[in-house]
Amino acid sequence: MQEDLKYWVALNLVVADSPRSARLLTQHFPKVVDVFGATKRDLIAVGLEEERAKVLSSSNLLVRADHEIERLEKKGYFVLTIEDKQYPGYLREIFDPPLVLYCAGRAEVLSEPALAVVGARKPSPYGRAVAERLAHDLSSRGMVIVSGLARGIDSIAHWGALKGGRTIAVLGSGLEKIYPRENRNLFGRITENGVVLSEYPLEAPPLGYHFPLRNRIISGLSLGVVVIEATRKSGSLITGRLALEQNREVMAVPGSITSELSQGTNWLIKNGAKLVEDWKDVIEELPLPLRESILSKEKEERKKTPSLNPEERKVYDLLGTDTLTSVDELVELCHLSVSEVLSILLSLELEDLIAQRPGKFFQRKL
């Protein structure tokens, strides 16, 4: 590891949750090692809070940093500092980039073109279907999907992306404090072919104020942000605002005017966000060379819709993208036996045309 790594890790132990403090110190001190040659009084004079200055000038901080690095190595994680060549270029450009990124997974993914997909924690069936399909369609065309590993749209976007390609998860906690806990399996799956990262030390808890700070990294890594279902007070709107400040594209999926979950996304669209109905709408907003490359490949490798027999077509047409339909309803409407309907549903699932939801309900994918 690089000589300055322990100094960056030590500094980050103190300022990870304060981009303002990080910015003050890196602007004042030409080299990170210079920070550790400063006295407490010097640090306060720069503008650092007294408590942070006290910790930063303490004798055991570098020992704590060495211990943190040892744990990272044992876990197989890697660290990128803002000086590293592998540090994501787009992220380095934002106003307050994280000084350190703790990463689990494959470093090369961080250099690939990325798009953020974020949204509601408790999405509707419509929102779930859109998130999964859009993430899959974009990732299968070479875009890395970035999201926050949260419940709802974030997790669904990660899973959808894993079916087609790669994804990056940005945590609001340390790599050893996965939140929510039920996403530990998703964490493992992402690290196999993508990256999970955090600016926080390994044992940092998922504190509430970490997540708005985390959002600047989600948008900062991405060429654009797609919001799928959001209330007026949704954290996803914070990500959209940050994306605008970072000169990123902001896009949103429209929803029903009677749904609270659509108020945020519809508001974004009214105020200039790109309306997204499918993956093509997103690709149209990418830089010209990348857009042309993706669309050119699409023409050459255009996917053909699987041909359906009359019974399969009948069942498929009865399913909606924004509603859930039970097996009993399908049996009644199709005038087929239960076994016939179940066989058709299985066939449609294998073709990745429909999805089964809890309670034996089914939904068409977009």
Three-class DSSP labels, 206-258: CCCCHHHHHHHHHHHCCCEEEEECCCCCCHHHHHHHHHHHCCCEEEEECCCCC
Q: Report the 10 Å Cβ neighbour count for 163.
A: 13
Average pLDDT over residues 34-55: 94
Structure confidence at residue 1 (pLDDT): 46
Q: Which are the contacts of 346, defined by CB distance < 8 A and separation ≥ 6?
A: none
Give residue-wise pLDDT tens across range 234-291: 889 999 999 999 999 999 999 999 999 999 999 999 999 999 999 999 999 999 999 9
The mean of the pLDDT values for the chain is 93
Q: What is the pLDDT of residue 42?
A: 94
**304 confidence band (pLDDT: 50, 70, 90):** low
> What's the pLDDT score for residue 308?
86
pLDDT at 111 over 70: yes
CA–CA distances in Å: residue 330 to residues 306, 310, 346: 21, 15, 14
Whether this model's pTM surpasses 0.75: yes
Q: Tell me the residue type at 124.
A: S
Confidence of residue 3 (pLDDT cuts 50, 70, 90): confident
CA angle 130, 131, 135 (to 5 degrees): 115
Q: Which of 165, 113, 108, 118 is nearest to 137 (CA)?
A: 165
11-15, 177-181, 310-314: the lowest-pLDDT one: 310-314
